[in-house]
Structure 1
Amino acid sequence: MPSPLARCPLNLILFDKVVEKAILPDDDPRATHVREVLRLKVGDAFEVAVANGPRGKATLLENCSKGMSLGFAWEQAVRNDLFPIRLLLGLPRPQTARKILEQAAALGAGAIDFFGADKGEPSYANSKLWTTDEWKRHLTRGVEQAFCSFIPVVRHWRNLEAVLDDLSQSDERLALDLYEADAPLSADAAIGKESVSLALGPESGWSPRERDLLREAEFTLLHLGDRVLRQETACLTALGVLAQPWW
């Protein structure tokens, strides 16, 4: 059965390091993608990048007994194109986390921090998403879709207090809250700021204790209107709004 990667058209394919030549085994999902989705022949080229490094082009040199032989030509310029936006998220259910990982990586979030929320479900942390490398694959897919190479940092924290203690003093601090926010989120909140930390609770929302912690940490509570949104919808909408000053 083809891998999920093979069924998903990508704009570039990531590799681990800069090399001049490499052989992709036939059972490597990247080889499957080149063969079954891109349908490339010997002599054809496709877009590649090194994770957190340069982009370039790979040329299919030959199909040999060991797999797919590739030659690489790399660009010299490397620019980190992630936005200085740090997402602080109450740990969501695994299917929600998968969507956020892929799409936040595609949109260019600089970091994604998950924390155990008062109203969250602790068992979500034991999902195979987190106990295996599956979470890394979702990040990679988002970056490849965006035609980029830099991958957001992902961290986990025991609770909201722990992640708040780790914040930079220079961050603009914002939190989404449907019930106690006084103003809507807008791109103006990020204009002229060095970096932004955006906090979102789990789908069940913030506890009163967590709201107190956010206010004590000088977070401004903002909203996205009157509609009740899923966590991934609110997260990605807010990320798109805040990223505008860096576009």
Structure 2
Amino acid sequence: MIELQNVSKVYGNGDDQFWALKDVCLSINKGEFVAVIGKSGSGKSTLLHVLSGIDTPTEGTISIAGKTISSFPEKWLTKWRSRETGIVFQSFFLLQTLTLFENVMLPMEFSRSLSRKKRKERALKLLESVGLLQKAYLFPDSVSGGEKQRCAIARALANDPPLIVADEPTGNLDSENAEHIFSLFKNLSEQGKTIVMVTHDHDFSHRVSRSFIVKDGYVSEDHIVDKKVGQA
């Protein structure tokens, strides 16, 4: 599903250069639930950004589902990202002037992949799947942090992408809501979605298929978790 070959990302120029990623090589299979762990500033978010097409690598190649996205021109990369990748942020990034229903509708409005009627039906179905159907027409400031994050996950699934990347999606949540979000991702993985999640929660990192450690821009595999442990 995902293949990174000698990927590096450099910010700045000359003496002000900062290597956020250094010669990263990794492979992730379809349907795997992968945790990325590391200290602040280690390169975790940069890794997610190049995986999701938000940013492009300075060196190396990134292939996802057989497509070398690192060579896409920006126009095609934007189109690919909207259809093939769902992105979940720690801070939700819901539009406050739109209802939860309208927030979930938004990616489908941009891609125009379905008729207006089917877009509405899918948005409501997604909100139902994350337990928010009864709050579909509320605005984000009327719901809890956990509910906002569940809405953000529904929005990330709007165009049915095969890849979901999540940057500290449980970081602002209490333990109960964090467990609920983790369970949602685990279920998505079991349905065939590939999940790459940055987390500081070491309990979660030991309950996924695999985990990677990022340190000073280098990425190494921590371990492959026994499936019985991952299902605990």
- Identify whether the pair has TM-score above 0.5, normalized to the shorter chain: no
| TM-score bracket for the superposition, by shorter chain length | under 0.3
- Higher-RCO chain (CA-CA 8 Å, sequence separation at least 6): 2
TM-score normalised per structure 1: 0.23
Structure with a larger share of its residues in helix: 2
**Structure index of larger Rg:** 1
TM-score normalised per structure 2: 0.24
